[in-house]
Chains A and B, each alone.
Chain A
């Protein structure tokens, strides 16, 4: 495949960023939006062509004769060479030295991510053209800056998913973190936005420390950064084409096992490396206990929340684990950790989401919970075996389910966020208490939001049903406990989403304040909602089992609409029932104004408080950072710094000062004194020299 198009996919957003960032001041605000959106549109088309070529062209670069999807390195440029290549006498390279390369790796997950990122990003660009204006259509201050940041983010995220090596991924990982920081703090005059952006930056940076250490351990033992060398084998007869292979991962494991120090603190070094890398993913994907930044990140403009903090950046952690999945598969203890973290986070976030008032916070916790679903799904994936219900479990079903859910979740969560943005834009408040009964006023928003809720709740035939069902099937295949646990969380999901839906659109009649009647937003904002709603309706039928699997080998038939055939109806019926129960409970409690929620709240005050205050995680962090780290650690260190280190330096300065005051009389300004001293000194030197020489 030619490398022009992949280069353009990365270059266009970068160029747009530079253009809008450097020259945005000189263009009209609306113009910046048009440029940013159309550039993103071109990227969207190019990405679609690339992904389509990858999945459906049947090119032997991308699919083997046996039907396995392959990994194709489109281009790979050496950026930093650490150790030189070893070359034999004939000039052939025997062994590649350690180098950081920048390249473009096209395989099933990166192609899928290209589609997800560009779709959501384009929708958000389009939407922002409407959202970032006031009610009279005047663009906000910093409109160009906003689009520049969006382009930067799109560039970074695309670079992240097509990374050919773990270090390139790390570089772009930090870039998305930086653009996330910039966008959360977009309203930099608002103190809450500033502190939220700082919080996001610091928490994810802390997690990335683990990521970096993990990278270093992994590359120290294996001597490579490249994903293809870590997880795949080259395909015979083709250049730069690889097939994912458990054998390579096995080999990597043996490298760790055969090294001098295979164990560290009771766990294998490879597990440590993978868990540390997963820690980076935990930070980015807001897993417990590093989730605290994501709810606060909602201080950013809502389109940003939709793009970065719901659909794309926060799934980077899932993507990271998926990218290194063959290695994780070799260390099931690492996968167990992923499962436990994911499951606990899923339940926690779902519980908290039930007690939030700010609609964006509800969606934020819902995002955390859904990403945790994906993590759990990855964590329960094992080699083929028979599950507890007696069914043959497909090899890598959970992996496929996770990617499937990533895809569908991106669509419907972006839809929900954009819908929430439309509501916020119309009402001017984030709290549902200011909304209530909006269904008559904003019909388009109402219907699309409902579709989003149905999709996330997992109602057939919307997208979420299929992916969630696959995840639960995978959980049943691994462990009944986790399966039941996750089914309960799925029920909670349905409950809190419909609680939100009913509280926004039903509950009681909307009180119209004065002239200002809420209404649907301009087409730039409703069109993305409609498109995303349409995608959410049909995305479930995309045959992921055929397209995206961990080793490229399809686990379903070759046809297109195969998802219905392959449903595990036992699991599907259970999850559907649970979801419907959740929806019915929500309907009972919140459809009409009634005292039931208040009663429940007073019946379980402790639970409500804990959920409402997010189980006091922020307070815990505050306690740890302020009371323990700042007071107990930093203050003594600061004292030491101020009095001992600075004191030493200050005393040097003081001594020098005193000495100079003491001897400044020597510089009397009387040249004759100088001459006298100089002459006698020269004579003394002469005498000494003579005594030595003679």
Chain B
């Protein structure tokens, strides 16, 4: 039996994930959608924290919430006038989206419920930051120097690509 505080925290996190996700895709103001996304990302970070992945939670907040959402906001401001509402959805389109989403929900939910029920939470242990760093820099089994380098090159390529694509000619 867990403490009431942690249950409350969980309920808040789960509800905010669900609610902000739904709002992010249903609101007609694009800037609001970005804001709801930000909250959903925060809630995700909270999940990471509650599962004792502090480093990951920090990365989530820094990169996603701090970096990507800011990018979104900038691009939204560049491409649309504030206060514009997007047009109402055609009902056909909404229906098809709902069908896809609900079918996804049903199939995956069925699988999850039939397969993953009753896996209890193990004892939490936070991960040593030193170990994270060593694993990221190591070259042995289960260590990630090569992907790390690949990602860094990818990021560089993306920076250059972004500049090349977006710059004014």
Contact = CB atoms under 8 A, between A and B. Distances in A.
Q: When A and B assemble into the complex, do they touch directly, with CB atoms less than 8 Å apart? A: yes
B112 to A, nearest CB: 12
A690 B111 contact: yes
Interface stretch (B20-28, B100-108, B155-163): B100-108
B8 to A, nearest CB: 35
Interface size bracket, A side: under 10
B125 interface: no
A680 B103 CA distance: 8
Interface in B66-88: none
Interface string A650-680: 0000000000000000000000000010011
Contacts of B96: 676
B107 A686 contact: yes
Interface string B107-145: 100010000000000000000000000000000000000
B111 A683 contact: no
A686 B100 CA distance: 14
A676 B102 CA distance: 12
A687 interface: yes
Nearest to B114: A694
Contacts of B100: 676, 679-680
Contacts of A683: 103-104, 107
A680 B96 CA distance: 11
Contacts of B103: 679-680, 683
State the main secondary structure of chain A at its contact with B.
helix
A196 to B, nearest CB: 67
Contacts of B107: 683, 686-687
Interface in A546-574: none
A408 to B, nearest CB: 87
Contacts of A686: 107, 111
Nearest to A686: B107
Nearest to B106: A683
A689 to B, nearest CB: 10
A683 B103 CA distance: 8
B29 to A, nearest CB: 20
Given A679-B104, A683-B104, 14 more contacts: A676-B96, A676-B97, A676-B100, A679-B100, A679-B103, A680-B99, A680-B100, A680-B103, A683-B103, A683-B107, A686-B107, A686-B111, A687-B107, A690-B111
A683 B111 CA distance: 12
A208 B97 CA distance: 75
A679 B99 CA distance: 11
A447 to B, nearest CB: 91
B82 to A, nearest CB: 26
A686 B107 CA distance: 8
A81 B100 CA distance: 67
* 7 A-B pairs with least C-beta separation: A683-B107, A679-B100, A683-B103, A676-B100, A686-B107, A676-B96, A687-B107
A686 B103 CA distance: 11
A679 B96 CA distance: 12
A199 B103 CA distance: 77
A612 to B, nearest CB: 84
Nearest to A678: B100
16 contacts: A676-B96, A676-B97, A676-B100, A679-B100, A679-B103, A679-B104, A680-B99, A680-B100, A680-B103, A683-B103, A683-B104, A683-B107, A686-B107, A686-B111, A687-B107, A690-B111
A343 to B, nearest CB: 89
Contacts of A679: 100, 103-104
B75 to A, nearest CB: 18
B132 to A, nearest CB: 34
Contacts of B104: 679, 683
Contacts of B99: 680
A671 to B, nearest CB: 13
Contacts of A680: 99-100, 103
Interface in A203-238: none
A205 B111 CA distance: 75
A687 B107 CA distance: 7
B138 to A, nearest CB: 36
Contacts of A687: 107
B125 to A, nearest CB: 34
Interface string A113-136: 000000000000000000000000
B16 to A, nearest CB: 26
Nearest to B103: A683
A679 B104 CA distance: 8
A53 B99 CA distance: 100
A683 B104 CA distance: 7
B114 to A, nearest CB: 8
A77 to B, nearest CB: 56
Contacts of B111: 686, 690
B5 to A, nearest CB: 38
Contacts of A676: 96-97, 100
A96 B44 CA distance: 82
A691 to B, nearest CB: 12
A679 B105 CA distance: 12
A683 B99 CA distance: 12
A679 B101 CA distance: 9
